[in-house]
Amino acid sequence: MPTRHIKEKIRILFAEDVLIHYKMSIEILRNENIIFDHKLVSTKEDFVAALANFNPDLVITDYQMPEFNGMEALQLTLEKDPTIPVIILTGSISEEVAVECMRSGAINYVLKENLIRLPFAVNEAITKMLAVKESAKAIQALTESESKLQAITNAAGDAIIMMDNQGLISFWNPAAERIFGFTEQEAIGSDLHKLMAPSECYQGFVDNFQKFQSEGQGNIVGQTQELEARRKDGSRLFISLNLSAVKIKDQWQAVGIISDITNRKKADQELIAAKIRAESGDRLKSAFINNISHEVRTPLNGIIGFSDLMTKPDITDEEKKSFVSMIKSSSKRLLDTMTSYMDISMIVSGNMQVQQKPFEMHQLLHSIYDHYLPLCTVKNIKLDLQIPDPSAPLNINSDESVYTKILSHLLDNAVKFTRKGTISFGYTREGAKITVFVKDTGVGIRKEIQSKIFEQFIQEENSNTRGFDGSGLGLSIVQGLVRLIGGEVGLDSEKGKGCIFSFQVPCEEIISVKLGAPVKPNRIKPVEEHVVLIAEDDGANFIFLKTLLQRRGYEILWAPNGIEAVSFCQKHPEISLVLMDIKLPEMDGFSATRLIKSARPDLAIIAVTAFAMSGDEQKAIEAGCDDYIPKPIIEELLIQKISAFIK
């Protein structure tokens, strides 16, 4: 029930030692058209004097002041007049503080960082004060004038309900009908507890009712309680109940003043949820910083350390070979880590896109099998690829790179956490859907952690002594990617017996289209040497590419920005191919490619980028590039792509 707006002028006594908070409170209340006189005090002596002289309708007190605190102000107010409502202003969100204040008699509390709730709290407080006063008048006049009682209760904004000595409703005002939905005819004579109490609370009321019948006492008599109640339509609401016992003709009866506080409780719950979200965000940021520091510094230590050892004059050729292997291994781990961070940022921000293209599922699975077989062989693990009908190709229209990423993360996990036994992966088919799975005989995952395992930076053992490296992002990336292609990840695991990860997705099969890499014409230069233009602004990257290509007999030109790349292609018709960095100064690689292609459409251009995010390849193709390669560049892949255009 919305709190009614108070139009009468009220007197508000502020106990506050910070002037800006006092002024902000005044301004916010005035902006809500609340009419009031006000007085500010900051000491206990001034507060006591103001209670006597200013005669406030409402007290708003800071919880912590230098000379006295909000709890003292609350006690002094209640001693002077228990009908004066008190609102506590606090800079703390401590639930213990809130509970202590409310138990001690405060009508509400408002966080200083959320002062926008103050007008609501003031309106609610004054409304309750008026309701209590109105109900007191109504009870006092009950035996004197039925008509006067009826007028007062009909006008009351809160429900006024009377229960006789048998627990039956004997009075039901219009506000009660509005709040609970029962008409007066439906309510009068009904068992109050059965009518309004949730079923799970009914027995508790019955157990305490006998004491009320005989003594007029009970666990909620004489105080304000926040309870859950039931409407006529079965829906639940939160109420504030002020219950008084009255003795009529030697029988104890009860009068309840009830306010609908559902909206306020919802606001409080939203505040708590916001607090939880903020704390969760802080934990996530801390986890991110700790994780990225570890997962970046660790492989960098290997790269820098072994690179330094390579320069020592006394190392053997065998040691050099070992050091190079260590540098490559650490570099791959660092690259995998950075790729995971980029993928999760794209997924969380909603920028990851699915590029629908036909591909052959069995070919993809065999390629992944060939990649992971050596890793499994080293660990003496059997790798098993399970395909329903190997002789019948499955051509589907989806994003092959997404499937590759998903299976790679799941198989990385399986290899990492399996010490012996078998890793199986593949798919099953049911109608228009396929279920892709990865099964292992590894360490397994405890039941209590399974619901959290897809959260970011989570491994089952998340301490500093955990036995497995990794960013902790793999499964959260898997979940995000699977949802992108219309599925949901499933997990079946038992500690010590391995895991089965699976996801079911729609399968749009392509029947009549022949799949395979598009045939690109070989551009064979009639002269002996081929000229390659490297458009790259980073000197180290240029020297690396230049060294690779010159060793294979290519002549090299260098353009350190996009404008010079366009100029070189115009002035040097002998250029056979361009390696075009996407992020260039003065003119980006996409723009330079468009200008070059407009003048020389047959000149082969391979895009080179350090971004390597989902959709970059498609952007390069749309700009006119003939192919795409991400950094860091693998020599074999680079030569393979160049050889597709020049030989």
CATH classification at residue 492: 3.30.565.10
Distance CA 367, CA 363 (A): 6
Whether residue 3 is contained in a domain is answered as no
Q: Which of 506, 521, 544 is the last residue of a domain?
A: 506
CATH classification at residue 593: 3.40.50.2300
Q: State the chain's mean pLDDT as an integer.
A: 82
The more confidently predicted of residues 229 and 463 is 229
The 10s digit of each residue's pLDDT in 204-257 is 677 777 777 777 777 667 777 788 888 888 888 888 888 778 888 788 888 888
The more confidently predicted of residues 588 and 143 is 588
User: At 462, is the pLDDT very low, low, confident or very high (cuts 50, 70, 90)?
Assistant: very low
pLDDT at 148: 63
Whether residue 365 is contained in a domain is answered as yes
Once rounded to an integer, what is the mean pLDDT over residues 195-211? 74
User: At 525, is the pLDDT very low, low, confident or very high (cuts 50, 70, 90)?
Assistant: very low
The 10s digit of each residue's pLDDT in 349-393 is 677 777 788 899 999 999 999 989 988 998 899 999 999 988 888
Whether residue 501 is contained in a domain is answered as yes
- pLDDT cut 70: percent of the chain above it: 84
Backbone conformation region of residue 506, classed left if phi is above 0, alpha if psi is from -120 to 50, else beta = beta
DSSP string, 383-427: EEEE-S-TTS--EEEE-HHHHHHHHHHHHHHHHHH--SEEEEEEE
The 10s digit of each residue's pLDDT in 552-591 is 889 999 999 999 999 999 999 999 999 999 888 899 999 9
Residue 39: which of 9, 6, 16 has the closest Cα?
16
592 pLDDT more than 80: yes
Same domain, 417 and 491: yes
Out of 153-162, 334-343, 551-560, the most confident range is 551-560
Whether residue 19 is contained in a domain is answered as yes
Structural domains in the chain (count): 5
Q: Tell me which residue range forms the domain holding 166.
A: 147-260
Residue 471 DSSP one-character state: -
Whether residue 266 is contained in a domain is answered as no
Spatial contact of 637 and 607, defined as CB atoms under 8 Å apart: no
Same domain, 402 and 502: yes
Distance CA 219, CA 211 (A): 10
The more confidently predicted of residues 72 and 203 is 72
Same domain, 575 and 496: no
Q: Which of 317, 349, 381 is the last residue of a domain?
A: 349
Same domain, 198 and 122: no
Same domain, 285 and 394: no
Distance CA 67, CA 94 (A): 22
Once rounded to an integer, what is the mean pLDDT over residues 26-44? 91
CATH classification at residue 325: 1.10.287.130
Same domain, 87 and 104: yes
The 10s digit of each residue's pLDDT in 280-322 is 556 656 655 665 666 677 778 878 888 888 888 888 888 888 8
Whether residue 512 is contained in a domain is answered as no
Same domain, 187 and 117: no
Same domain, 378 and 498: yes
Same domain, 176 and 226: yes
For 364, the enclosing helix (H) or strand (E) is helix 361-378
DSSP strand pairing (381-386 vs 421-430)? parallel
Instruction: Please give the angle made by the CA atoms of 79, 80 and 86, to the nearest 5 degrees.
Output: 80
The 10s digit of each residue's pLDDT in 537-555 is 888 888 889 998 998 889 9
Same domain, 364 and 475: yes
Q: Which of 206, 235, 260 is the last residue of a domain?
A: 260
User: At 15, is the pLDDT very low, low, confident or very high (cuts 50, 70, 90)?
Assistant: very high
521 pLDDT more than 50: no
User: At 527, is the pLDDT very low, low, confident or very high (cuts 50, 70, 90)?
Assistant: very low
501 pLDDT more than 90: yes
Residue 81: which of 43, 54, 63 has the closest Cα?
54
2 pLDDT more than 60: no
